[in-house]
Amino acid sequence: MPEREYDIVVFGATGFTGALTAEYLASNAPANTSWAVAGRNQDKLRQTLERIGRTDISTLQADVGDPESLSRMAQSTKVVITTVGPYINYGEPVVAACAQNGTDYVDLTGEPEFVDRMWLGYNGEAQRTGARLVHSCGFDSIPYDLGALFTVNRLAQDQPIKLEGYVRVGGTFSGGTYHSAIHIMGRLREGAKVARERRQRESQPDGRRVKGAPGRPHHEPDAGGWAVPFPTIDPQTVLRSARALDRYGPDFTYSHYLVVRRLPVLAGMAAGAGTAIALAQLRPTRELLLKLKDPGEGPSEEQRAKAWFKVRFKAQADGTGLKTEVSGGDPGYGETSKMLAESALCLAHDERPNDLVGQVTPAVAMGQPLIDRLQNAGIVFKELA
C-alpha cells in the first residue's frame, strides 16, 4: 500500500455508534496512530470531537452522494471505518471507493443482502487492488466468527468438527439497528435471490466439506435456557471463514442458536418477529414501522452499563468435547465500537495472518491478532471446564 496520510478514517462519526467508535479511538489508539473523522456536516464532526476532547483530530468532507469525496477519503487512509447505515441504502459507494483505491474497509453490518451484493460487485476489484473488505466487525459477527476460530484452534486439525454456538444477550438497541432490521425483513425475497446468485458464482473448498446445520429448538442447560435456531448473518460468516481456512478441518458443521431462559419469552419473540416481517413486506406498513424509532436514537450510558453478552460454543472432534465462551459488556454499542475500532487498528498495524484479499471475514482477515487485541481490550475468550 502506498504511503497514506492517515491510518484510519471514521466515516459517520456524528452518528450514535460512529461517535462511540471515535471516542474509543480517542482513548485507546496508540500514540503513533494517525486518524481522522469524515462526514457531510463539518460542524457536527467538530462538535463530536469537542465532546470527546480531541479537537486536534482532522475532519474530512465526505458524502455517499458524492463519489469523488469518497474516493479522496479512501485515498487518504489505510483503513475506512463506516457506520453509515442502513448499508443496503448507503453502504455501496463506500465499498466501491475502498475497492477501487486498495483501501481496507470495515463496517458493522448485519445485512446479508448487502454483504452478498458487495461480494458480487466488488470482490474481484478488491482482489486486484489488494483491499480487504471486512464486513460485520461488530456484535455481528465478531464474537461468533472469532469465537469459532478460538475454539477450532484448540481441536485436532485433521478431524471432522461439529460446532454449536449459543447466544445470550441483555440490552437494548439503537434506532439505526432497528431501521436495518426492518429493511432486512422487508427485502427477504431480494436477499434470497442475491444469495442464490452468490452461491452459484462462489467457489467451494477443494477436498473439504463445510455445511450449516439448522438445528432444532431444545433446552440447553449448559447455555442457560431454551435454544432456538437463529438464522442471522452470523452463522453465514462462520461458515465462510471455515470455507476459506483449512484449519477448520476436512468436515466442518456449524449450528447457531439464540438462548432465552423461559419458553413464554421465546414464544413472544417469535410472534413479534413474525408480525414485524409481515408488516415489513408492504411499503405503507413498513414506513409506519420505521417511524417508531429514529435512526439517531440509542440507549443511555446507564442502559449500556447494564448490558452484556455471552456466546458459548460446544465442539466435538474425534470423540473429544470442548466448551468455550466469548463474553463482554454492552453488545450493541460499547463492545461493538470496541470491536470495530480494534479491527481497524489490527488492519492498520498488525501483520496479516494470510495473503487473502477481497471480501473476507474477520477471522480470515485478522484471526489471532484480533483475538489478542480484543482480549487485551477486555472481551473474554476462554475455555470452560
Locate 1 and state its grid cell: 500500500
Domain ranges of the chain: 6-139+334-379, 142-328
DSSP 36-51: EEEES-HHHHHHHHHH
Confidence band (pLDDT; 50, 70, 90) for 261?
Answer: confident
The CATH number of 6-139+334-379, from 3.40.50.300, 3.40.718.10, 3.10.129.10, 3.40.50.720, is 3.40.50.720
88-145 residue pLDDT tens: 999 999 999 999 999 999 999 999 999 999 999 999 999 999 999 999 999 999 999 9
What's residue 180's pLDDT?
62
With cut-offs at 50, 70 and 90, classify the pLDDT of residue 365. very high
Average confidence (pLDDT) over 292-315: 79
Cell 431444545, located at residue: 218
Tens digits of per-residue pLDDT, 41-52?
A: 999 999 999 999
Summarised one tens digit per residue, pLDDT across range 269-283 is 565 666 666 666 767
- List, in sequence order, every beta strand (DSSP E) within 95-205: 104-106, 132-134, 161-170
Q: What is the pLDDT of residue 295?
A: 62
User: Residue 1 above 60 pLDDT?
Assistant: no
Q: How far apart are CA 142 and CA 327, in angstroms?
A: 11
pLDDT computed for residue 331 by the predictor: 86
- Architecture of the domain made up of 142-328: 2-Layer Sandwich (3.30)
β 358-359/6-11 pair status = unpaired
For residues 65 and 203, give the distance between their C-alpha atoms in angstroms, rounded to a whole number: 34
pLDDT at 178 over 80: no
Q: CB atoms < 10 A from the CB of 270, how many? A: 12
In angstroms, the Cα distances linking 45 to 8, 272, 298 are: 16, 37, 18
- Cell reading at 153: 484452534
Q: Which residue is associated with the grid cell 434506532?
A: 175
Q: Cis omega before residue 141 (within 30°)?
A: yes
